C-alpha cells in the first residue's frame, strides 16, 4: 500500500507552505514524506520537490505557444489535462516503492476541484496505483472569521468533498496570523453550527435581506451533510502540526499495514562469561 495527501485549496491559501511544514515535521520524526509539485505555474516554494510537473509542462509553454495562445487560467487547465494524458510520465517518476508517502502540492485554481473532472481523474489514477489518498483542503483563516465568507468557504470545501469522493480533511490555515480576538472566535468555525453563524448575518446589508432564504438554505445544506469540519493549522506550533499529521495518517491508515519489525540483536559477548560468579 502507498499513501498520499492531495493538498488543494484556493490561490494563496498556504498549500505549498503546508507541504514544506509537514514534510519537515515528518523528517524530524524520522519519517520520509516526499513532496510533488503539481503546479505548472509555481515559481516559488521552499521544499525540494521529489517530482516537478514543470519538467513535463510549464504554464508558459501553454501561454507562449503560437497555436494555443492560452491565458493564465485556460493555460493552467490545459497543463493539468496534459498531465492526465501523460500519466505514464508521473508513474515512471513516482517509481514503484511500496509504503511510500507523497504529498501532492496542487495548483490554486478552485474550479479544478469544485466542478472540473481533472482532479477526480488524477485521484482515481492514484488509487489504481495503490495509493490511499486523503484530500486535504486548505482555506485561509483570515477569510473565515466572518460568517458570510465562512459559508462560501464551507460550500467550496463541501463541493470538493462531494466531487472527489475520497477521505477528506479541511484545514484553516495561517492561524498564527489571527488577532487575539479572532482566535477566540475560531472555535465557532471549527465545528460550525450554520444556524448560529447565519444569525450573525441578520442585521446585515440589503443583500443579506434579499437573499436571506438562499443563505438559510445553504446553511441547512451544510448542516445536512454534517461533514464540514475544520482543523486549525498554526505552522509555528509543532504539537498542532503533529496532531494534524496523526489525524491524516489515521484517515489513510498509514502504518497499519507495516510489518512488526523484530530487531535481531546478538547477545554482547561477555569475556568474563566463563567465570563462575560466587554466590552468597
Ligand atoms: N504567517 C503565515 N504565512 C503563511 C502561512 N501559509 C502561507 N503563508 C504565506 O502566504 C503566502 C502564500 O503561501 P503559499 O504556501 O505559497 O500558498 P499556496 O496556496 O501554495 O499558493 P498558490 O500555489 O499560489 O495557490 C506566502 O507568502 C506564505 O509565506 C501560514 O501558515 N502562516
Ligand atoms: Mg503553491
Residues with beta carbon inside 6 Å of ligand 1?
Answer: 9, 11-17, 39, 108, 173-174, 176-177, 235
Q: Return d(Cα 234, Cα 153) in angstroms, integer.
A: 19
Is the Cβ–Cβ distance between 137 and 105 less than 8 Å?
Answer: no
pLDDT higher than threshold 70 for residue 65: yes
In this structure, what C-alpha cell is assigned to residue 245? 499529521
Confidence of residue 181 (pLDDT cuts 50, 70, 90): confident
The 3-state DSSP class for residue 161 equals: helix
Q: Give distance in angstroms: CA of 200 to centre of ligand 2.
A: 33
Q: Return d(Cα 189, Cα 192) in angstroms, integer.
A: 5
Q: Is the pTM of this model over 0.85?
A: yes
CATH number at residue 187: 3.40.50.300
Please give the number of the atom of ligand 1 that sits closest to the Cα of 45: 16
pLDDT higher than threshold 90 for residue 15: yes
Max intra-chain CA distance, the chain: 96
How does the average pLDDT of the chain come out, rounded? Answer: 86
pLDDT higher than threshold 50 for residue 279: no
Assess if residue 279 is contained within a domain. Answer: no
Q: Give distance in angstroms: CA of 277 to centre of ligand 2.
A: 68
Please give the number of the atom of ligand 1 that sits closest to the Cα of 9: 19
Count of domains in the chain? Answer: 1
Is the Cβ–Cβ distance between 242 and 163 less than 8 Å?
Answer: no
Q: Give distance in angstroms: CA of 9 to centre of ligand 2.
A: 9
**Domain carrying residue 79:** 2-192+228-251
Instruction: Please report where in the chains the cell 560466587 appears, as a residue.
Output: 278
Assess if residue 179 is contained within a domain. Answer: yes
Sign of the CA dihedral 75, 81, 85, 90?
positive
- What is the torsion angle, in degrees rounded to the nearest 10, for the CA atoms of residue 192, residue 7, residue 19 and residue 230? 10
Q: Which of 11, 13, 14 to mutate to test the pocket of ligand 1 (most atoms within 8 A of CB)?
A: 14
Assess if residue 116 is contained within a domain. Answer: yes
Amino acid at each position: 500500500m502507498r499513501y498520499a495527501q492531495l493538498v488543494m485549496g484556493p490561490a494563496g491559501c498556504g498549500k505549498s507552505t503546508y507541504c514544506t511544514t509537514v514534510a519537515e515535521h515528518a523528517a524530524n520524526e524520522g519519517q520520509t514524506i516526499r513532496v510533488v509539485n503539481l503546479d505548472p505555474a509555481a515559481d516559488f516554494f521552499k521544499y525540494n520537490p521529489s517530482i516537478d510537473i514543470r519538467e513535463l509542462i510549464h504554464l508558459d509553454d501553454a501561454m507562449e505557444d503560437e497555436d494555443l495562445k492560452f491565458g493564465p487560467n485556460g493555460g493552467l487547465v490545459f497543463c493539468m489535462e496534459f498531465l492526465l494524458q501523460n500519466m505514464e510520465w508521473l508513474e515512471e517518476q513516482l517509481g514503484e516503492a511500496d509504503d511510500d508517502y507523497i504529498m501532492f502540492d496542487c495548483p490554486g485554481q478552485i474550479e479544478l476541484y469544485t466542478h472540473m473532472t481533472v482532479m477526480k481523474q488524477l485521484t482515481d489514477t492514484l488509487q489504481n496505483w495503490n495509493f490511499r489518498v486523503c484530500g486535504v483542503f486548505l482555506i485561509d483563516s483570515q477569510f473565515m472569521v466572518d460568517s458570510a465568507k465562512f459559508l462560501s468557504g464551507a460550500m467550496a470545501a463541501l463541493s470538493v468533498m462531494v466531487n472527489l469522493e475520497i477521505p477528506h480533511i479541511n484545514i484553516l490555515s495561517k492561524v498564527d496570523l489571527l488577532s487575539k480576538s479572532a482566535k477566540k472566535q475560531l472555535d465557532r468555525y471549527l465545528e460550525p453550527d450554520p444556524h448560529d453563524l447565519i444569525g450573525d448575518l441578520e442585521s446585515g446589508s440589503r443583500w443579506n435581506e434579499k437573499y436571506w432564504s438562499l443563505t438559510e438554505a445553504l446553511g441547512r445544506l451544510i448542516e445536512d451533510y454534517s461533514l464540514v469540519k475544520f482543523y486549525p493549522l498554526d505552522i509555528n506550533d509543532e504539537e498542532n502540526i503533529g496532531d494534524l499529521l496523526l489525524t491524516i495518517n489515521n484517515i489513510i491508515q498509514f502504518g497499519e499495514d507495516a510489518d512488526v519489525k523484530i530487531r535481531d540483536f546478538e547477545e554482547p559477548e561477555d569475556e568474563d562469561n566463563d567465570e563462575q560468579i560466587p554466590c552468597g
